[in-house]
Amino acid sequence: MLHIGCHLSAAKGYTHMAKEALSIGANTFQFFTRNPRGGKAKDIDPWDISAFLEIAEKENLYKILAHAPYTLNPCSADEKVREFAYMVMEDDLMRMEYTPGNYYNFHPGSHTGQGAEAGIELTAALLNKILKPEQTTVVLLETMSGKGSEIGKTFEELKAIIDRTELHQKLGVCLDTCHVYDAGYDIVNDLDGVLEEFDRVIGLNRLYAIHLNDSKNPFSSAKDRHEKIGEGTLGMEVITKVINHPLLKDLPFYLETPNDVEGYAEEIRMIRSAYKDIE
């Protein structure tokens, strides 16, 4: 069954996002846990949460994906920056437990000159502080494009973070189609090969979610600029292969393309008609 959603504004709460998602043909969604700049999160509204949980159950919403502010840097050379990422992520994970059993995605960070190895150590150290045995949320490391000094641009780097994390059962990976292509994984000409490599290095059992984006940039550009579905260097043919791939087709797909809600509605229609549901 197709699980498709897009990035929505969290400004009006969970119930509003659920209704908005349903109104555009989505059965899940992604949202920022707070202002992307990393400001204070809104207080949890128990009425909003219980109304949301009711709708989610009644309408069969699939797992929702909370995205950490993309400005956090868990592996900065600056201790204050790392401390801020720690505080925000710890608070986010506490809040996630009000909507149990969902996903929390974050960018592994930028090593800011210390080297990838040092970055991997620092991000794993942060995970070792915030993951709790009793949490129901799965924390997802996002595959990155490798712009600047980003870590997580290779499957090996993601695997190294997982290996250094004690409660690694709480960790998974979110594969961003734009990022992996920009990072040098050729999903246009060899999707099977890329997935084989993912399986060999990380294990496909760690793959929980797909960020479904086209890319504005050529292969291996290390750039990270998302394009509308079908209008970029991946193209509709590749997107169609991704959503129908036997190893991917049951995962949730979250669009993060440059669109307003109407644009997302149109893309979701396109994705639905390209999805070959054989059950």
Strand duo 28-32 + 3-7: pairing? parallel
Counting residues that bind Zn ion (by CB under 5 A) gives 1
Contact range with Fe ion by CB under 5 A, out of 73-81, 83-91, 159-167, 204-212? 204-212
Give the interface segment with Fe ion, choosing from 117-125, 186-194, 203-211, 239-247 (CB under 5 A).
Answer: 203-211
User: What does 211 interact with, of Fe ion, Zn ion, none (CB < 5 to 8 A by kind)?
Assistant: Fe ion
CA 30 from centroid of its chain's CA atoms: 8
User: How far, in Å, CA of 72 to CA of 106, rounded?
Assistant: 9
DSSP single-letter state for residue 78: S
- Indicate which single residue of 20, 150, 157, 176 sits in contact with Fe ion (rule: CB under 5 A): 176
Q: Tell me the C-alpha distance between 261 and 252, whole Å.
A: 19
Minimum gap (Å) between residue 179 Cβ and Zn ion = 6
* Shortest Å distance, C-beta 73 to Zn ion: 15
Residue 244 tokens read as 């129908």
Stretch that binds Zn ion, among 52-60, 80-88, 117-125, 218-226 (CB under 5 A): 218-226
* Shortest reach from residue 105's CB to Zn ion, in Å: 11
Where does this chain touch Fe ion (CB under 5 A) — which range of 96-104, 111-119, 170-178, 242-250?
170-178
Choose among 114, 26, 41, 32: nearest CA to 74: 114
DSSP class of 63: P
User: Which of the choices Fe ion, Zn ion, none does residue 224 contact, using the CB cut-off of 5 to 8 A by kind?
Assistant: Zn ion
In the complex, minimum distance from the CB of residue 248 to Fe ion, in angstroms, rounded to a whole number: 16
Nearest distance from residue 215's CB to Fe ion, in Å?
11
Work out which of 111, 159, 211, 216 binds Fe ion, going by CB under 5 A: 211
Distance CA 158, CA 118 (A): 13
Please report whether residue 224 would count as binding Zn ion according to CB under 5 A: yes
DSSP alpha helices (H): ranges in the chain?
14-23, 46-58, 79-96, 116-130, 155-163, 177-183, 191-201, 235-244, 261-274
As measured in angstroms, the least distance from the Cβ of 166 to Fe ion is 25
Q: Which residue is nearest to Fe ion (CB)?
A: 211
- The reply on whether position 267 binds Zn ion by CB under 5 A is no
Q: Which tokens belong to 140?
A: 């997802």
Q: Which stretch of DSSP H or E encloses residue 251? A: none
Would you tell me which residues interact with Fe ion (CB under 5 A)?
A: 142, 176, 211
